Homo-oligomer: A and B are copies of this chain.
Amino acid sequence: MINNNTLDENMETLNYDEAVKLVKAEVERALVKSPFIIREYLSHLALTQGKYIRATSVIVAAQDGNGYVHSDAVKAAGVIELIHLASLVHDDIIDNADIRRGKPTLQNKYGKRTAVICGDYLLSLALKMASEANDKNRGTEIDFPDYISRICLGELEQHINNLNLNLSIFQYLKIISGKTAALFEASFFAGAAVLKVSDEELRNYKQIGYYIGMIFQLSDDCIDFDTSADIANKPVQSDYEQGVITLPLIHAFQNLEEFKQKAEKAKITREEINQAIMKTGGLAFTKGLIKRYYDKAMHRINELEINEEKKTKIIFILNKAARIQ
């Protein structure tokens, strides 16, 4: 069905593997076909591409009863991956991050100025791609700028609460619902919108995406503290060293008064943090919350009017987000 790695205007339906392959080709085409001056920076980014979990979510959600996907879903998945890339580039500026996915970050390699502009450029690429969908009635149902706003608000709230030892669980969940869950919600939303499902079904897809996003972030938070995990896979700087207070630590602060008092007075070490989290059961608490989101997601997945093959694929993404593989 495919002769080369580009999206043929006349080709409307694709099978799952073709679609996933084409998303990568679409994103790389957008990055590599950029004007010369920006290409160097963006091919560097393309090299450090992630696992495309968001793009895969769009494609899976867009699969029809026969397993086929409309080509507009490929565009939508490309849009979401580009928004994600843009947010990574700007996040690295905010976090002063030097390494991402084992490669030097844009802000590290080319400076903050370049990274600010490249992030903006990626956003504009994303929204240009959003306007390229062949069937306007499919693509326009999702308001991408609104999702970008939600991501910004989550990030801003996180930044404002940097080193806030009194951050509540509720506040934290609100932060990650913007910072991370919004784009997962958008992924399932975009896929289901291409499929033109009923409003009720669409709400289910959105909610599943949202829960998967929450699970993805909370599982990430656990890795930061999981002493059993391979040390090589840990980030160079822990969240706390960046001033980011995540759920296991919030739980420790709430349940170990002397630990919080110590943190208020002086800088606490990673060792002390790990001990406090172990003592208070911060990881088990977070995993309990992950389990609740997992069950909610599963409940919604069972409500979808889909065949077993598609259900298996959605559950695979859910498990990937929960790091159960």
Contacts and interface: CB of A to CB of B under 8 A. Distances in A.
Interface stretch (A53-61, A147-155, A284-292): A147-155
Interface core residue of A117, A155, A159 (most chain B CB under 10 Å): A117
Interface in A99-114: 112-114
B90 A120 contact: yes
Contacts of A156: 37-38, 114, 117-118, 121
Interface range for A = 35 or more
A145 B159 contact: no
A120 B143 CA distance: 16
Interface in A179-219: none
A108 to B, nearest CB: 15
A152 B120 contact: yes
Interface string A119-137: 1110111111011000000
A88 interface: no
Report how many copies the assembly holds. 2
A307 to B, nearest CB: 34
A47 interface: no
A94 interface: yes
Contacts of A127: 127, 144-145, 148
A131 B145 CA distance: 9
A33 to B, nearest CB: 12
Given A35-B153, A126-B145, 5 more contacts: A93-B112, A93-B116, A118-B152, A127-B144, A128-B143
Interface of A: 35, 37-38, 86, 90, 93-94, 112-114, 116-121, 123-128, 130-131, 140, 143-146, 148-149, 152-153, 155-157, 159-160
